[in-house]
């Protein structure tokens, strides 16, 4: 490619995979990479305002803290679905 995405944050899960929060033109995504450097998945990034501070990745699931319309924090879970 002529350009590469901007990496916003990197998270490591309990299976040694790297979850790279990237910004591409017009969208935010997460690329999931294996220990050997193979890209396993790309998904739309959840709307987490402070990437890296409120995120835990375990068992193929990403846990994050989001806020409702009143500003109350709550935990959400996103699953890595293999297709």
Q: 0.75 cut: is pTM over it?
A: no
Q: What is the pLDDT of residue 34?
A: 93
Cα separations in angstroms, 11 against 32, 34, 64: 9, 12, 12
- What pairing do the DSSP bridges indicate for beta strands 18-24 and 27-33? antiparallel
- The model's pLDDT over 44-67, given as tens digits with 9 standing for 90+, comes to 887 665 555 567 888 888 888 888
Q: What is the pLDDT of residue 48?
A: 62
């Amino acid at each position: 490619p002529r350009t590469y995405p901007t990496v916003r944050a990197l998270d490591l899960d309990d299976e040694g995979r790297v979850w790279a929060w990237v910004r591409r033109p017009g969208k935010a995504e997460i690329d999931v990479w294996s220990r050997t450097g193979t890209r396993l998945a790309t998904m739309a990034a959840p709307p987490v305002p402070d990437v890296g501070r409120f995120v835990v990745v375990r068992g193929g699931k990403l846990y994050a803290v989001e806020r409702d319309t009143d500003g109350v924090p709550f935990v959400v879970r996103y699953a890595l679905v293999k297709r």
